[in-house]
Chain A
């Protein structure tokens, strides 16, 4: 029996500017279960990032409710490591902010870093790391406070193609082995198919869930998924749904 960890019910969000108001999201409902990896794809400008801000509680919906149990970790397009802090100090940042900067939590964060290949770089500054390594450090930073749900806002789109495939695999492996729930927002169909258990397709603005699919790979490695024969079938289906 899976437990529900996040639920959007009939959420509406209106953006206000001096000139006019825009209904970014309307009638949006979905839920995410514990341990699940859900990807949300949608046409550009349909309010994907807004959706994550709603999930994290940074924005209040204009109507409807967002309910969640547990804590969130947010990962953005760029790594946003602070250049004046070492990697180690960057990993401790969320601990400092949440006032959980205890020796146990620090050593846990360091263990994660060592486990996922950042042990030699703890004393380095972000500028000394490659783009892929930096994004990996950003993920460890997100995991440092042991959040229940990871919110991923196109975390790979700023990387070049090869780095991107590798980092995607890294991130997938780390999230699966740490048993985290993840909500990924992306405009990249193949990324969504290679990572997620379930894919939600959003409609153009005002956004709501237009289609929903549970992927049938029985395989969690993104690179291996890409080699599967049904990968292209999913791609075509989602491509069509995005463009109608």
Chain B
């Protein structure tokens, strides 16, 4: 029905306008980035700002090159990336599973509700010292921090999606003789797909918060470590470099989730 074999002139014009708009948006996006970087570089070059305090794009580039020749660039990136991805995956899978269990049993749900509310409100960073004592000062502690930051969000997000399943559709399935497991697999899980994607998007941010926060508390490597270390010894170049790399990585990860969303939506036409 939607296939367009021949288009009118007006339609071609419409498509052309749309394309032109997209080009405009993208050139402005890149332009703003170039302008900000250029101003930053220029202000330190002309001496308006002290590069010791604000660093500069060229210094950041040099720092990246230095880290690379030292051989520690990918070590730090890899450390943080691994903690973030592993923590993200564990939080999402575990959170989804717990949300399913809570959906399944109303009794379990009512019993655990106050605990979830408290855990959600608790600032996870307060657990920092405890985590160090329990898990030591290695990657395990950071991983744990990443998981607890994302876990509660994943649970609450998915649980509310599961509970919001259309009551009439459940009635329809029950009238067909469906049991709880069938209602879950045929209706609750597929109809919560959009919420699952939005939960992933939120949790990308949560995972980075968790891993960087974890590295602030305890670490000997990673981007969060570089930021803290750079701050302590007043190496602003290092601090800015790590921050910029973090921005890029977080954006890439978010973009991957968007790709996953496009793939899933294409395969379900929701």
Residues of chain A touching chain B, judged by Cβ–Cβ distance below 8 Å, are 53, 56, 58, 72-74, 76-78, 80, 82-84, 93-94, 96-98, 124-125, 127-128, 145, 151
List, in ascending order, chain A residues with CB within 8 A of B168's CB.
Answer: 76-78, 80
A80 in complex: contacting residue of B172, B186, B190, CB < 8 Å = B172
Which of B172, B182, B270 has a CB less than 8 Å from the CB of A84? B270
Q: In the complex, are the beta carbons of A93 and B174 less than 8 A apart?
A: no
Q: Which of A72, A73, A80, A127 lies in contact with B169, CB distance below 8 A?
A: A80
Interface size bracket, B side: 20 to 34
Chain A min CB distance to B32 (Å): 38
**Which one of A76, A93, A124, A127 contacts B171 once the chains associate, using CB atoms below 8 Å?**
A76
Selected from B1, B187, B190, the residue in CB contact (under 8 A) with A128 is: B1
Q: How far is the CA of A236 from the CA of B178 in the complex (A)?
A: 42
A76, A83, A84 — most chain B CB neighbours (10 Å): A84
21 of the cross-chain contacts (CB-CB < 8 Å) are A53-B171, A56-B175, A74-B172, A74-B175, A76-B168, A76-B172, A80-B172, A82-B186, A83-B269, A84-B190, A84-B191, A84-B268, A84-B270, A97-B176, A97-B182, A97-B186, A98-B176, A124-B1, A127-B269, A128-B1, A151-B175
Bound together, the chains give a CA A56 to CA B172 distance in angstroms of 11
Closest CB in chain B relative to A193 CB, distance in Å: 27
Query: Does A72 contact B175, Cβ atoms closer than 8 Å?
Result: yes
Q: Does A93 lie within 8 Å of B176, measured CB to CB?
A: yes
Given contacts A93-B186, A125-B269, contact A84 B193 (CB under 8 A): yes
7 extra interface residue pairs, beta carbon distance < 8 Å, beyond A53-B171, A78-B168, A145-B176: A73-B175, A84-B190, A84-B268, A97-B182, A97-B186, A124-B1, A125-B269
Contact B190 A82 (CB under 8 A): yes
In the bound complex, residues from chain B placing their C-beta under 8 Å from that of A128 are 1
Q: How far is the CA of A164 from the CA of B161 in the complex (A)?
A: 33
Interface residue from B171, B173, B269 paired with A97 (Cβ < 8 Å): B173
Closest 3 CB pairs between A and B? Answer: A74-B175, A84-B268, A97-B176
Give chain A residues whose Cβ lies under 8 Å from the Cβ of B186.
82, 93, 96-97
